[in-house]
Amino acid sequence: EVDLVESGGGLVQPGGSLRLSCAASGFTFSDYYMDWVRQAPGKGLEWVGRIRRKVNSDTTEYAASVKGRFTVSRDDLKNSLFLQMNSLKTEDTAVYYCARSPTGGIFDIWGQGTMVTVSS
C-alpha cells in the first residue's frame, strides 16, 4: 500500500528551527518528485516547496514566503523526504503535508500531516 507518514512537528519559539520528515512506502520513492504543502489553522492550502528526482539533480523550488528559510531534501536510500525550517515565524504555524508528484505539479498521494506551532 502506498503511504506517506510525516513526523517531527511540534511547538517551537519564533526564530527557532524544526526538521520535518516524511517516510514513504509502497512505491519507488526515487522515481517521484516530492512536495510540501501547508495549511494554517482554519485556512486554505499553500504550496511550500518541492524537490525533483536525482536524475534532475535533486533541484528544488520554493514559495517566496519560505525561500531562504526552508530547505527541502531527500534520502532515496531511506525513502525519506525532509523539510528543514529555520528562522521560524508565527505565520509558519500550520499543518504540513508531504505529497507525491508523479509528473509536473500533480499531487496524487498525500500524507496525514504534522502540526507545527510557532509561538512564544
Partner 1 sequence: DVQMTQSPSSLSASVGDRVTITCRASQGISSSLAWFQQKPGKAPKSLIYAASSLQDGVPPKFSGSGSGTDFTLTISGLQPEDFATYYCQQYKNYPFTFGPGTKVDI
Instruction: Give the bridge partners for 37, in sequence order.
Output: 47, 97
Interface with partner 1, residue 45, by CB under 8 A:
yes
- Other Cβ atoms within 10 Å of 101 Cβ, number: 18
Tell which one of 7, 19, 58, 106 touches partner 1 (CB under 8 A): 106
Is 37 within 8 Å of 73 (Cβ atoms)? no
Which of residues 8, 46, 52, 76 is near partner 1 by CB under 8 A?
A: 46
- Reported as half-sphere exposure (CB side, CA atoms, 13 A), residue 6 has a value of 25
**Candidates 10-18, 70-78, 83-91, 103-111; binding stretch for partner 1 (CB under 8 A):** 103-111
Q: Which stretch binds partner 1 (CB under 8 A): 23-31, 51-59, 84-92, 100-108?
A: 100-108
Beta bridge partners of 26: none
Per CB under 8 A, residues contacting partner 1 are 35, 37, 44-47, 61-64, 97, 104-113
